[in-house]
Amino acid sequence: MKRRIIIGLTVYAVIFTLGGLYLLRVINFATERLDRLVQLHQVEILREHYLLKIRRVQSDLTLEGTRHERGFETMVSHAVVMRNLVDTCFTCHHEEEVLDRIRQLRWQTQLYQDALSRVLTMRANEARLAEEQNAAFLVGEELISQVGEMIALTGTKLESATQDSLQEINDTRFALYMLVGIAPLFSVVLGYIFVASLTSPVKVLLGSTRKLKAGDLDHRVPELTHEFGELADAFNEMAASLKEQMHEMQRTEQLAVVGELAAGLGHEIKNPLAGIKVAMDVLGTEAYLSDEDREVVKRVSHEITRLEVLMRSFLDFARPAKPRFESVSINTVINTTLALYSGRHRRAGDLSPPIEVQKELSSLPRTAADSIQLQQVFLNLVINAVEVMPDGGTLTVRSSLEQASGDVIVVTVGDTGKGIAPEHLDSIFQPFFTTKPKGTGLGLPTCRQLVEQHGGTITVTENPGGGTVFSVRLPVRAVIQDGVS
């Protein structure tokens, strides 16, 4: 878009520059033509003026010696102006043919001045004076004839040149009018195209925003170009993210509602169950019961116990306990967990699968955490790992410290079991999802809930050597009064 704006402005600048140059050229052209026209008419006026001056001097000459004579100074002044006029012609003409004619005129004018000078200075008898005056008059008439002839000869040429100049000026004026008329129109069209190319994508984005605001989260901005294309991609990403978060929020709200209902229900069930279990235990001690009935009562009591465990797990998930933060060594929690697992494993005796435990613990800083809850998380992961290896395998527990973006403690629990099907990877942290015949589907969701209460995350990946690896990431935080930093 920036490029388009620069190109647009450059095009405008070039157009206006070219237009300005053309206008200057047209004005210059018209000025030259008018200059030429003025010159042509000056020439015409000059020649007429010249002829007029000659006639005036002839008149002076005719009146010389009469009582109406105009005087020496007047006559000399007229003759000088007459001569100056013919000299002026040399500043206008440059063609050799015309110059020759003007030279001839100047020569004739000089002869006329010579004759006039004689008339003005001579003192002689009347006959001689009359002869000189007549000679001067004839020279003057010849000069008038030559000038008249030149005016006649060049009159047509002057007229033609005048018409040509006027035609050229008219053509120039037409071109100027066209330019003045077309240039703004062209500018408006160009400006409209340019502005439209800017406002059209904005309108599309504005429409999409309004659709999104109206709740159409599936709407996506159609493909746009340049920076608007990038903006559209960002907009679409935002819409997709918004839709996902909206779904997540809806799911969370649903779970919360279900959880509240289930928790209430579970609480209501727990007490009667306790009563039933007590009753069953008392009934099982009755002597009149046959062994077969006693076994049935014992089985009922066992199922009630299982229901109680299930209800406790469900209540733990629905109403998780608030963590009690204290300075904890994660490695200590891991060791405690593994010790608990080992104790349970030993009690299982020979029926337990042969599990090899590999422990790789790095030196870790202490962090603010609830050791009981973390122990519950790690124990859950260890038990799950062991359960997916019914024929035995290797349990790997590692701890490490990442310092890429703040200190983060990473604890991984890996197994070499059959692994998790890819289609189940996204579901294993959802409540009540389980692949185990007797699983509650609340173990891993509870783990995630507890880890998230510590500001951490839990993820699952495939173990390169087969099996699954769960990773718990916990930020290193210090304990402060009434909370963590």
Partner 1 sequence: MRARKSLGKHEQPRAILNSLRCCLLLSLAVLVLSGCGETEPPPEPPPATTRERVVIGIIPEQNIFRQIERYEILTHHLSEVTGIDVETKMLPRYGNLIDNFTFAGLDGAFFGSFTYALAHERLGVSVLARPINLDGRSTYHGMILVRADSGIEGVEQMRGRRFVFVDKATTAGYLLPLDYFITHGVRDYESYFGETYFAGTHEDAIYDVVNRKADMGAAKNTVFDRLVAVDQELRTELKILARSPEVPENALALKRDVDPAVTQRLLAGLLEMHTDPRGHEVLQSFGALRFIETSDEDYRPVLEYAAQVGLDLSTYDYLND
Residues that bind partner 1 (CB under 8 A): 27, 30-31, 34-35, 38-39, 42, 46, 72-73, 76, 79-81, 83-85, 87-88, 90-91, 106-107, 110-111, 113-114, 116-118, 120-125, 128
Q: Which is nearer to partner 1, 81 or 315 (CB)?
A: 81
User: How far is residue 355's CA from residue 351's CA, in Å, rounded to a whole number?
Assistant: 12
User: How far is residue 464's CA from residue 467's CA, in Å, rounded to a whole number?
Assistant: 8
Would you state the structure tokens that stand for residue 272, as one six-digit string? 């009667």
Nearest approach in angstroms of CB 96 to partner 1 is: 18
User: How far is residue 189's CA from residue 141's CA, in Å, rounded to a whole number?
Assistant: 70
The DSSP letter of residue 357 is E
Nearest approach in angstroms of CB 23 to partner 1 is: 10
Tally of CA atoms within 13 A in the half-sphere of 93 that contains its CB: 20
CB count in 10 Å sphere of residue 373: 22
Nearest Cα to 262, choosing from 316, 318, 321?
318
User: How far is residue 78's CA from residue 84's CA, in Å, rounded to a whole number?
Assistant: 10
Q: Which is nearer to partner 1, 29 or 429 (CB)?
A: 29
Q: Which is nearer to partner 1, 21 or 193 (CB)?
A: 21
Rounded to 10 deg, the angle between the 226-284 and 291-318 helix axes is 150
Q: Which is nearer to partner 1, 121 or 156 (CB)?
A: 121
Q: Which is nearer to partner 1, 41 or 203 (CB)?
A: 41
Nearest approach in angstroms of CB 138 to partner 1 is: 13
Q: Which is nearer to partner 1, 27 or 188 (CB)?
A: 27
Nearest approach in angstroms of CB 228 to partner 1 is: 44
Nearest approach in angstroms of CB 101 to partner 1 is: 16
Q: Which is nearer to partner 1, 125 or 485 (CB)?
A: 125
Nearest Cα to 477, choosing from 360, 376, 330?
330
To the nearest 10°, the Cα dihedral for 79, 81, 86, 88? Answer: 160
Taking CB atoms within 8 Å and a gap of at least 24, the contacts of 103-107 are 104/146, 105/143, 105/146, 105/147, 105/150
Would you state the structure tokens that stand for residue 389, as one six-digit string? 């290896």
Nearest Cα to 391, choosing from 417, 429, 362?
417
Nearest approach in angstroms of CB 79 to partner 1 is: 7
Nearest approach in angstroms of CB 145 to partner 1 is: 19
Nearest approach in angstroms of CB 47 to partner 1 is: 12
Tally of CA atoms within 13 A in the half-sphere of 82 that contains its CB: 29
The CA radius of gyration of the chain, in Å to the nearest whole number, is 59
Q: Which is nearer to partner 1, 117 or 362 (CB)?
A: 117
Do the beta carbons of residue 132 and residue 119 sit within 8 Å? yes
Nearest approach in angstroms of CB 158 to partner 1 is: 16
Nearest approach in angstroms of CB 31 to partner 1 is: 6
Q: How far is CA 374 from CA 213, 320, 444, in A?
A: 42, 13, 13
Nearest Cα to 28, choosing from 161, 186, 168?
168
Nearest approach in angstroms of CB 170 to partner 1 is: 15
Q: Which is nearer to partner 1, 50 or 228 (CB)?
A: 50
Q: Which is nearer to partner 1, 86 or 311 (CB)?
A: 86
Q: How far is CA 191 from CA 1, 5, 7, 48, in A?
A: 15, 11, 13, 57
Residues in the chain: 485
Which amino acid does the sequence have at 110? Q
Q: Which is nearer to partner 1, 33 or 454 (CB)?
A: 33
